[in-house]
Structure 1
Amino acid sequence: MFSGPLVIIVVAKTLTTGEMSLYYAFFNVIALQQIMEMGIGFTIKQYISHSYKLTEKNEWGQESKANIISYMKFSFLWYLVISLFIFFILGYVGSVFFSSYKGSTDWKGAWWMLVFITGFFTIVTPFQFLIEGCQRQISIYKSRLLSGIFLSLVLGLSLYYGAGLYSIAIAVFISNLIFYLYLFKTIKELVSELIGVKTKKNIKTTFIEVWDMLSKISVTWILGYFFWNSFNLIAFKMLTNDLAGRFGFTLSLVRAGYSIAESIVASQTTIYASYISAGEVKLARRQFEKSMYISMALLISGYFLYIAVYKILPGLFIFDKTLNLTYTIEMFLYFVLLLPVTSQANYCRCFKNEPYFKLSLFMNIQVPIVFYLTCYYVGEPNFIYLLPFSMLSLIWSCYIYYDTENRYKIKCRQENMK
């Protein structure tokens, strides 16, 4: 998300490798809010998507509205708690973590500025679930695209003009402001439909309703924080500032391609859920597999392009601050193996179930431990030791993927026989 081409160039030009270690660690520490989020966002989107129904007259049904209101009330309460967590706990945790930094960069003011801005915008996050769940994907995609463009521009310009680590908070504020201003009309339209509609469900009732799915997702979601964010945090603590900065910069390049490819599937989960809810499982699967193959082709092509540029222009200034090509290719292989696993998991969860609990638990524990041991004993951020586990995870994921649909078909047949 923060690794657009413009930002990558400016980061390489304006920050030292030592400053890069702080820059990337900032994002990973602020992401601790994921522990409190516990997967409620994904869960609520699925429930809203399954509840969103139109009548024969193409009008939004009252029962559908009542259910969705209960999910929204629950979401706003949950995210208010997360916001307070960011303000009063996460800020302090980050200060303690970064206190071990031995460089000359002043990071405290920039860190607390990021904390307050993140906490503020967290409160309104549930509006995104409402928009996506009510099948307004085009609006949300356009706003994310526009917001992403502004984030890259503001972040790049702020870094270029010397704002340093403060650039992160400035860019996050502007991009979120643009995001919600663009969505304001859609939010107003949906909220106006819900005003005055009463629901019999209270917060406790709603919690009990979503708990079956949430309880399974929450553990993997919490551990997932360490899966996605442990790399830079471990590197920050275990490696030199220079090596940690090079690693963080290289990882951001690799993950930029992965994030773009992965979003092709992830952005359509509510569409898959809607098809499944309507009994169109074959259509959902066909749409998913088409998207997954496109995302795989895009990711592999992007990684080959990087290797080609590295070979043709090895003296390019960007490569002065990356890891060597061998380590980078190992990262490429890791994320190529990871993409079908995460894509299949996102699709299978559209059945309002969490069949990936054991696999996610395995990956979320194994990856940080193996990487930590690698840094501790080898002293280098080497991904080669993660690849055998990635192959195992891919095989396991394929089995779950086919088994999930078979179980769903059996369940539907049993319900039809009653």
Structure 2
Amino acid sequence: MSQRVLEILNPPHNALVIPKRGMVDRLCLSWLGWLGVDQAIFFNLLTRFWQAGAGFITLLFVARYLSPQEQGVYYTFNSVLALQVFFELGLTFVVMQFASHEMAHLEWTINGTLAGNSHAKARVASLLRLAANWYAVAAGSLILVVVPAGLLLFQRQASALDGVVYRLPWTTLVVFAAGSLLISPIFATLEGLGKVAEVARFRALQEIVSTVLLWLALCSRWGLIAACVFQASRLLSGGLWLFARQRPFLLDLLRLRSRHCGIHWGREIWPLQWKIAISWISGYLITQLFNPILFVFQGPVLAGRMGMSLTLASGLSGAAMAWINTKAPLFGILVARKDYRQLDRIFFTALWRCLLLGCVGAAALWLGVLYLGHVGHPLSQRLLTPSQLALLLVISVMGLIVSAQATYLRAHKQEPFMVLSVVNGVLTGLSALWMGWRFGVTAMLAGYFFTMLLAGLGWGSLIFCRCRRLWHVPQQS
């Protein structure tokens, strides 16, 4: 293996460095090294932990400075804005994977530009232009569709929203969100080209600054405009960072024109994109389905408990998946080089670390909730019962394996999990609807558990083993 590949696999700029000043520092460094925590993982975890802690503080600010009507509109803003997943259609992940495959033949220069195989560089430039065009249409469509849809939704509750100014904040919020969507393919391309740690560091800082500005806007009693401040901060900071740090890279690619080395969207990108889009939408619908079902059939109290418990489980899963997600561009590079032995070594090492954090975190979370119930803390009444929460956390840990397997297979620019995602989504949805209607939360989670165990983990593992065996045959022979 060449020296450059070794540098990609163990980049010195990505290493998490702790000054060795004493025994505690050495133990910390040894422990983090054993867990495989590099800069990319560290800043991803920092972002996750900040979101968890800041989310709780934001709840307090919203309750303190917004009226009950404004509070309802504020959280509805976020729910409706999440519809942008239907406009993005999984292209971010596809862009990252395609860029990582081309990075196998390229390298970064000290000037911040790409050097190496001219054909690969031309394909990166073509990829970025195609993605920019797609996201320009997606951003425009988001404004044209989501703005009026949101206004119609809020208009249905006009009598309850008397005195609440929501039209201008909502329109402004969607416009800023569309702007963030417009520049997102650049970040995906940079991650695919190996700048995972650099992007993760920026996103951590971006999240902290944007949240602090949100709090200041709420304290200043700006009302729903505070949501716009948060989204505007994300857009402006993202644009400024790209202009200040990635300008040479972007200008170099914009000057590059080649009609014979470009990427064909219809032949190369779309066959993968539509499959990933269906998988993502299926997963999105599953995560958004439990609360409405419980709200309708079991009341808002149980729906609130499920919502908060799902938020905790989702945060834990997101933190654990940092070990896999930060390696996704590297997986693509190794697949492009057909270095399957190294791919498997890195993947399975990251997988057991991911599962270790998931299991330890789930146990700690469950014990914490059990303790809250034991001492009679009011927060325990806002969550599911310990037995229900345990079932949800077990499902989340199983989901880590399925998500990791999907990331591994998608690094081959294939999506064999599409049918699985649709079937899993349909079965989970029908099970949740029936169980939630007739029996309640425990039965709903039991149905989700068996669906994940059989259709998710069982079927998914069979697909993973079969595809891994078939796709890696050339090197083994």
**2:52 paired residue number:** 4
Amino acid at match of 2:470: R
| Structure-2 separation of matches of 1:394 and 1:107 | 47
Identify the range of structure 1 (116-125 vs 337-346) with the bigger mean alpha-carbon deviation.
116-125
Residue by residue over 1:341-395, the C-alpha shift from the partner in whole angstroms, topping out at 9 and shown as x without a partner, is: 0111011110111121221121222223322333333454842221011111111
Residues 252-291 of structure 1 mapped to structure 2, 5 A cutoff: 252-291=311-350
Paired with 2:61 and 2:364, the residues of 1 have a C-alpha distance of 21
1:20-31 mapped onto 2 (5 Å cutoff): 26-31=77-82
**Cα offsets for 1:156-196 (capped at 9, x unmatched):** 55566666665444323323433443343342121132132
Matched residues in 1 for 2:418 and 2:381: separation?
41
- The question of 1:115 aligning with 2:115 is answered no
Distance 2:216 2:145 in 1: 31
User: Residues 67-109 of structure 1, C-alpha deviation per residue, up to 9 Å, x if partnerless?
Assistant: 1111111111111111112111123334445666699565844
Q: 1:41 to 1:253 in 2, by over 3 A?
A: same
The residue type equivalent to 2:383 in the other structure is: T
Equivalent residue number for residue 118 of structure 2:
62
Distance 2:470 2:298 in 1: 46
Aligned to 1:224: 283
Q: What percent identity do the matched residue pairs reach?
A: 21
Task: Find 2:414's aligned residue among 336, 353, 368.
Answer: 353
Give 1:389's aligned amino acid. T
CA contact under 8 A between 2:320 and 2:358: conserved in structure 1? yes
> What residue in structure 1 maps to residue 463 of structure 2?
400
TM-score normalized by structure 1? 0.86
Contact persistence 2:127–2:263 (CA under 8 A): no
Q: How far off its partner does 1:12 sit? A: 5.8
8 Å CA contact retained: 1:20, 1:249: no
1:323 aligns with 2:323: no
> Which residues in structure 2 correspond to 1:52-201 (within 5 Å)?
52=103, 53-54=105-106, 59-97=115-153, 106=164, 108-109=166-167, 110-155=169-214, 166-200=225-259
* Mapped contact 1:147–1:176 kept (Cα < 8 A): no
Does the C-alpha gap of structure 1 residues 71 and 306 become closer, same or farther in structure 2, counting only changes over 3 Å? same
Instruction: Tell me if structure 2 keeps the 8 A contact 1:51–1:68.
Output: yes
CA–CA distance in structure 2, aligned partners of residues 233 and 163 of structure 1: 30
Distance in 1 of aligned mates of 2:76 and 2:108: 52
Match of 2:95 among 20, 40, 44: 44
In structure 1, the residue matched to 2:446 is 384
Relative to 1, partners in 2 of residues 1:275 and 1:95: Cα closer, same or farther, differing over 3 Å? same
Q: 1:328 to 1:195 in 2, by over 3 A?
A: same
Note the 1:296-307 alignment, pairs <5 A.
296-307=355-366
Give the greater-gyration-radius structure (CA). 2
Deviates most, 92-101 or 389-398: 92-101
SS at match of 1:313: helix
Structure-1 separation of matches of 2:331 and 2:350: 11
Tell me, what secondary structure is at the counterpart of 1:200? coil
The unaligned stretches of length 5 or more in structure 1 are: none
User: What is the aligned partner in structure 1 of residue 354 from structure 2?
Assistant: 295
Return 14-23 or 389-398, whichever deviates more: 14-23
Question: What SS is found at the alignment partner of 1:32?
Answer: helix
- TM-score (structure 2 length as normaliser): 0.76
